[in-house]
Each structure stands twice: as C-alpha cells, then as structure tokens.
Amino acid sequence: ELKVEQNPLFLSMQEGKNYTIYCNYSTTSDRLYWYRQDPGKSLESLFVLLSNGAVKQEGRLMASLDTKARLSTLHITAAVHDLSATYFCAVDISAGGTSYGKLTFGQGTILTVHP
C-alpha cells in the first residue's frame, strides 16, 4: 500500500526566511501534486509534477520531483505571512493500471509565517 509522508508536520517561520517541506512516498510514481488549503477552505492546486527531475516555480514557491529517490520538495523563499496555510503533497500511482482517480495524500504541513 502506498504511503506518503511529509515533514515537517508543523513549520513556524519568520518572514523573510527560507525553508523546505519534504514529501516521501513508498511506491514508484512519476505523478505528484502539491496543494494548498486555507482554514475551512478547499484544496487549491499549486504544482503538477509529472516526470523525474521536474521543477516548477510560482512566486516564492518552488517544487521538484526526484522519482528515483521517491521524494518531492516544496521550497519556500523569503516567506511572507500570506503563505500561511496547510500544504499537502499527493501521489498518483494510477499509471500502474490500478488506483484510477485516486490521490494518496500526505498528512499535510501546517505553515505559519510570523512577522
């Protein structure tokens, strides 16, 4: 069974600092997604990573995928308060012929950015 683990689960940062959230998964996959969730809200798609070595950047966030290491990272540069939210990675293994339409999520990382 696929396991997806994020760390850290809680991240308290000062504005202006850099940090990285890690997402490890247990089964071969080259389809990984990052989502953001604000309190009481739905999931907002941030990044779609579909191949080994994929790197995507949007503003202060950059995501990468290493399928050999089964690892994705979400790097935060010069954090600002607006980035405070919960971040989830999600892995899709349906390319193996099963698990259609199923995303397996990590536990989520609660990010708080302080002034």
Contacts with other proteins by CB under 8 A lie at 33, 35, 41-45, 48, 88, 90, 92, 94-95, 98-105, 107-108
**Least Å from the CB of residue 51 to other proteins:** 14
> What's the CA gap between 42 and 51, in Å, rounded?
26
The alpha carbon dihedral of 104, 18, 71, 53 has a sign of: positive
Closer of 101 and 115 to other proteins (Cβ): 101
On whether the CB atoms of residues 34 and 74 are closer than 8 A, the answer is: yes
> What's the CA gap between 80 and 90, in Å, rounded?
24
**Least Å from the CB of residue 78 to other proteins:** 27
Closer of 35 and 79 to other proteins (Cβ): 35
**Least Å from the CB of residue 4 to other proteins:** 10
3-state secondary structure of 38: coil
